[in-house]
Amino acid sequence: MRKAILIACIVLAGAGCFASHAKRYFELGYPAPGPEEPTFDKTILFDRVDVEELYDDFRIIYRISPTEVNYYAYNFWAEKPSKTIRNLIRERLIIPGRFIRVDLETSPDSTDWILQVKVFRIEEVDEAERWHARLAMDFDLVETGSNMVIASHTFDRTEPLADKRPGLLAGALSKILAEEFDAFLRTWER
């Protein structure tokens, strides 16, 4: 009888430990555009976002050193980074009046410009004193007729998280993406 009670207590204690770890899903967000957003008398093709294979995963990556990659066991992206970043940038492009037309999956021959996006890193960097969000990307705007890059923006940026909580990562990454893409958009006006 005692053995049965002891086993039951161990099973219940173990179940309690596992039950407290519910999976959590996060997504990036993008603030509404400001009133002075640039507009262009052009058509643009934005087909896909190229993400380094290691990072295009539902699992959220965190680092505790430059050479060690870890995945959270209970924290995930709601969508793969290639899809969520594409959707956020697309929303920024399809603002009424921004372009004559935004093509998402057509031939580059029918557009003036092509937007190419590459993601090198999208991760959390955990240091002893503070955690950071890190996003490294490359944006290129290519003229279709000449295949010439007419605007380019590359960055590798970190933002400190307010606290050591993985739930703050998505907001910090969203801030970086919004500020860097908007800075890139403003270079097109020149």
| 181 is a domain residue | yes
pLDDT (tens digit per residue) in 169-190: 999 999 999 999 989 988 886 5
- 84 in any annotated domain: yes
C-alpha span between 156 and 137 (Å, rounded): 7
Classify residue 170: in a domain, yes or no: yes
Mean pLDDT of 119-137: 97
**Residue 31's domain is classified under what CATH number?**
3.40.50.10610
Reduced to 3 states (helix: H, G, I; strand: E, B; else coil), residue 31 is: coil
How many whole angstroms separate alpha carbon 66 and alpha carbon 45? 36
Query: What integer best gives the mean pLDDT of the chain?
Result: 87
Whether 180 and 137 have beta carbons less than 8 Å apart is answered as yes
Instruction: Evaluate whether residue 179 is within a structural domain.
Output: yes
Alpha carbon distances (Å) from 44 to 23, 41, 104, 112, 186:
39, 10, 8, 6, 16
Residue 11 lies in a domain: no
Tokens representing 51 are 């993400």
The alpha carbon of residue 16 and the mean position of all alpha carbons in its chain are separated, in whole angstroms, by 34
Residue 121 · residue 55 · CB < 8 Å? yes
| pLDDT value of residue 137 | 98
Total domains in the chain come to: 1
Instruction: Note down the domain range covering 87.
Output: 27-187
Helix H segments across 79-168?
81-93
- DSSP states along 36-71: T----SSEEE---EEE-TTTSSSEEEEEEETTEEEE
Within-domain flag for 138: yes
3, part of any domain? no
- Which tens digits make up the pLDDT trace of 57-92? 999 999 999 999 999 999 999 999 999 999 999 988
